[in-house]
Structure 1
Amino acid sequence: MDNRIADLRKSYEKAELDEHAAAPLPLQQFETWLQQAIDGQLPEPNAMTLATVGADGRPSTRVVLIKGLDARGLVWYTNFNSRKGQELAANPMAALQFHWVELERVVRIEGRVERVADAEADAYYASRPLDSRIGAWASPQSQVIGGRGVLVAQAARYAAQFALSPPRPPHWGGFRLVPDRWEFWQGRKSRLHDRLRYRLDGDTWVRERLAP
């Protein structure tokens, strides 16, 4: 690879993040930034990196999509038998990260993870396009398969079995990360970036500036 990769750099100068102007609660600050990402028509503003740790201590990451947000936490949906599902079953602690490149912003969130209620998962599953609902049955997520033909055959099988009304698979549902720590990063000139951390101390959110 061309060694000029070491010379790639950018000056971040689009905005600032002042602790005195930031929202007193992290959820409020996040909702403001997420809405700005949506309003700015950024590509997939709801994409977030999910980090989990396996029983062997090996961390892993993948990109998932946030599908719910309220005072209880952030929700995404997946196959419980996938690698992330199995890791969360064994160690229900995780981290999320949003990276809105065009806004020069990053949000990091940490906390414990719980499954969403069946009724909530059922409602979301029913709202998905039919192909996606069939796909939840067809894909043995994270397992080794012989080729794409396996997925195509499985999709055809379940489409024939369920027609227009597939039920939610028992191995598929939602997770909710309940935050106890948030960090908001705004790129700034000369690498003197703004970093605000919100950490939960009892029932109170403590807001602090961190050195970049």
Structure 2
Amino acid sequence: MREAYHVELENLASNLARMSGQVADAMERATRAMLDVDLALAEQVISDDVKVDDARAECEEQAYALLALQAPVATDLRTVLAAIHAAESLERMGDLALHVAKAARRRHPDPVLPEQVRPYFAEMGEAAVRLARQAEEVIKTKDVDAARSIETDDDRVDELHRHLFTVIMDREWPHGVAAAVDVTLLGRFFERYADHAVSVARRMVFVVTGKMPGYTGDNL
């Protein structure tokens, strides 16, 4: 019975890791759609979002079944609880990629971003996708050191996000209010996506150590 239970725990972790890969693919495609004014790619991200929603539902169903049927304790209980919270964060990451794709579709055939800010968003997109890929590996390996190391990319996204405000608030900003609003919203989507990836990694630290970074005085 216990062996079968731990197989179920491993299946749950595998499903979470696969979900992290899905949302990484979604943001990678959404970023390309935004930068390349690619309507077909934006539509793909939008239509694929239901798969992320379904994946969350499957993960939560597995987790609640394990709670109800097995009454886990200690590390096993932390694993199940972390999975429920991580699935929520991963679904939100998928939603944020969806928002980026919808912005690209809304402005098509025009670009949603002025040329002036495209390099910042290209870098933010690369960092965000890298964070999701790293979270996927952390879920698979439960490597605490790897979980802690993703903070660097998150800091860079935060830095770029803050810099965008200085760009759009400059008196010489030539692109008008609508473009400034788009830049503000899109920057927020990338910043929140990165934050959720860090949250997923923190949940894996909690599984291993029993302590939640950021809430116990420990810094991820």
Q: Greater strand percent: which structure?
A: 1
Q: Greater helix percent: which structure?
A: 2
Give the TM-score of the pair, scaled to structure 1: 0.21
Give the TM-score of the pair, scaled to structure 2: 0.20
